[in-house]
Amino acid sequence: MSNETIDLKTRLITDFHAREAVMNGEASSEFHQKKRAGLALFEQLGFPSIKHEEWKYSNVRDLISVSYDFNAESSIGLAELEDLKVPKQEANILYFVNGRYNEQLSAIISPVDQITISSLADAYKNDPAKVASFFNELTKDANDAFTALNTAFAQDGVFIHIPDNQSVEHPIILRFVSDAREKNVGSQPRNIISVGKNAHVKLAEAFRTLGDQRSFTNAVTEIQVAEEANVQYYKVQNESENAYHIGTTQVRMLDRSHFYAGTVTLNGKFTRNNLNIVLDGEHCDAHMYGLYFPDGTQHVDNHTVADHQKPNSESNELYKGILRDKSKGVFNGKIFVRPDAQKTNAFQSCKNIVLSPDATMNTKPQLEIFADDVKCSHGTTTGQIDEEALFYMRSRGISQSEAMSLLMFAFCADVVQQIKIDSVREYLENVITKKLASK
């Protein structure tokens, strides 16, 4: 049997056992036992087909039809990264090349009393019990093949800790670069972020690709938000036409904390984002904003969960998309209100503009409410550009293409304005303007 005919699942399982065989004593550690459990779950679940309810509109057949090098070395240096830089960005910049944290390329400018950043491996070396207790803690109940796969193969991401009462002045930007210049590469970064009580921080994860070969990113980030903390978390995907991306962000919020998420998918062949927020505290508020612009045959799927477990909290969600050509979009928003979560307020909205008869958008709000004193609402709209607005603008001398750009930019504005890292917002405004003007 040639290599090409062995399917990706078998190859990954074989690879896991081969690595395990050379691990010496470490194989019995708590950390590795969690990885092994991840593998077992992945083995049991296998890659999902479209018969799986959670994957009904997102077919991964194409994604798993080829092989990827998950251990690819890369010669990327600062010169190649120059092109990926965002102007006027005064921030802690962490680089990840093919999924692994690269300390040499990274620059941390915040003082050590504000943030602790280390690779997962270093953090584990320093305090094995602590890291093992965080690792896969939030995602342990996820019955998801890709999360399990990431747990099994978790690459050396970062462990970020913000101590109690610290207000981190400079944002922390995690920049993931897939080097697909020579071959198909796979990466499975795993990051753990722990935000202390009453700490304030702004974070962004940015995904980019170099080269035209295929890249497959399977990323998992776990974020613990302690009491009264305030976290802004953004995910920006601007990858190649051959980039496949599956990502899970799992968040747990405690009393009186605030969490803001912004997920913007600018480019990529196939994207699936899972944003799962557990409101495990009272008087919390969680905000989720999303924006996507697929064109060509691109596919963007956003699955979100707001899981209200305690009383008196609020979640608020707004996703927007502009779909062109033969692109496909999926939005699935779940709101759970558990029996104890009285006085919950939960709002959800998903609005789309479909510019081509060949583009499709599937939206599915899913509310499961087990408490009786709650306020929940949801709404989705899918439509075309407002013809009356278009004529109004044209009647003032604005060309059709310029009017379309202005209207689409305006459509995105209420999401873009939620991005509170200035350099990231300006970058997005720039890229979005160009993207909207391109057709």
Q: Which residues bind other proteins (CB under 8 A)?
A: 386, 388-389, 391-400, 402-403, 406-407, 409-414
Helix (H, G, I), strand (E, B) or coil at 19: helix
User: Which of residues 37 and 406 has its CB atom nearest to other proteins in the complex?
Assistant: 406
CB 403 → other proteins: shortest distance, Å?
A: 8
CB 428 → other proteins: shortest distance, Å?
A: 15
User: Which of residues 132 and 398 has its CB atom nearest to other proteins in the complex?
Assistant: 398
CB 282 → other proteins: shortest distance, Å?
A: 34
CB 271 → other proteins: shortest distance, Å?
A: 25
CB 361 → other proteins: shortest distance, Å?
A: 20
- Tokens, residue 269: 């062949």
Find residue 273's DSSP bridge partners. 247, 302
- Tokens, residue 423: 């350099």
- 329 and 362 in contact (C-beta within 8 Å)? yes
CB 338 → other proteins: shortest distance, Å?
A: 36
Q: Supply the DSSP string of 390-430, one letter for each residue.
A: HHHHHTTT--HHHHHHHHHHHHHHHHHTT---HHHHHHHHH
Residues 6 or more apart whose CB falls under 8 angstroms from that of 389 comprise 403, 407
User: Which of residues 347 and 409 has its CB atom nearest to other proteins in the complex?
Assistant: 409
CB 435 → other proteins: shortest distance, Å?
A: 16
Residue 295's H or E segment, with its range, is none
Amino acid, res. 59 = N
User: Which of residues 183 and 394 has its CB atom nearest to other proteins in the complex?
Assistant: 394
User: Which of residues 162 and 291 has its CB atom nearest to other proteins in the complex?
Assistant: 291
Backbone φ and ψ for 269, nearest 5 degrees, come out as -70, -45
CB 387 → other proteins: shortest distance, Å?
A: 8
Beta-sheet pairing, 299-308 with 270-279: parallel
- Go through 330-347 and write b for each residue having 16 or more CB atoms within 10 A of its CB, e for each that does not: bbbbbbbbbeebebbbbb
CB 402 → other proteins: shortest distance, Å?
A: 6
User: Which of residues 225 and 432 has its CB atom nearest to other proteins in the complex?
Assistant: 432
User: Which of residues 23 and 413 has its CB atom nearest to other proteins in the complex?
Assistant: 413
Closest CA to 359 of 291, 270, 294, 438: 294
Spatial separation of the C-alpha atoms in residues 345 and 150, rounded to whole Å? 33
Torsion, Cα 230 284 147 41, to 10 degrees, reads 140
Q: Across the chain, which distance is largest between two alpha carbons, in Å?
A: 75
User: Which of residues 25 and 397 has its CB atom nearest to other proteins in the complex?
Assistant: 397
User: Which of residues 370 and 391 has its CB atom nearest to other proteins in the complex?
Assistant: 391
Burial class of residue 44 (count of CB atoms within 10 Å of its CB; 0-12, 13-18, 19+)? exposed
- 299 and 269 in contact (C-beta within 8 Å)? yes
